[in-house]
Amino acid sequence: GVGAAVAASVDGAIAGAGAAAEDGPPWPVALSLAVHPRPLALGPEARSAWHRIIDNVLEGTPCGLCVFATYFPGEAAALLALCRDHGAFCEPPFENPFFLRPGVLSASAQDAALRALDGGHLRFVVLAWTGALGLARRLGGGIGGRFCPQRLGGGL
C-alpha cells in the first residue's frame, strides 16, 4: 500500500550533539528533528556551541522542515529568533497539547510527572521551513517536491 511505498523511500541517520557541533550532517536532509537544543545555555562557550549545532541542523536541511522540541518558553522564543535569523520561515511556537493537560492528572501526579521529566522535554515545538520550501510557506503555498530542486537523499 501507500505506507509501504513511503516507508521504502525513507532513509535516516541519528547524530549526537557532538557530531552536529563539528561538521553538521554528512548529507542534506529534508526533515530534521532536534530534541531539546539549548539556545539559552549558560556561559558564552556553551551557548556558542549550541548555536553552532542549531545552525548545522538548519544548514543540513537546505530545503525542508526542521522540528525543534524544547521545554522552556524562553528556549522556544530563542529558537524562533535563531531560525528566522537563518532565513527560515517559522510557524509560531506551539505547546504540546498532551503535556500535562489540565484535568487529566491530579496535582500530585503532575508534580511526579515533572520530576520524572528531569528538566522536561517536548513541551514546545518550533517548526522551521528552510530554502525554497520556506519561501513557498511564506507565500502561502503548499508543500511538495516541486519546490526543492536538489535531490535530498531520495527525498521529497
Contact (CB, 8 A) for 124 and 92: no
For residues 128 and 66, the answer to whether their CB atoms sit within 8 Å is yes
pLDDT, position 87: 93
pLDDT less than 70: residues of the chain: 1-27, 98-121, 141-156
Q: Tell me, what amino acid is at 153? A: G
**What is the helix (H) or strand (E) element at residue 21, kind and residue range?**
helix 17-22
> Shortest CA distance to 87 belongs to which of 38, 49, 138?
138
- What residues does 69 pair with on adjacent strands? 35, 125
pLDDT of residue 18: 54
Specify the pLDDT at position 120.
Answer: 53
Q: What pLDDT is stored for residue 29 in this prediction?
A: 85
Query: Which pLDDT belongs to residue 138?
Result: 82
pTM: 0.70
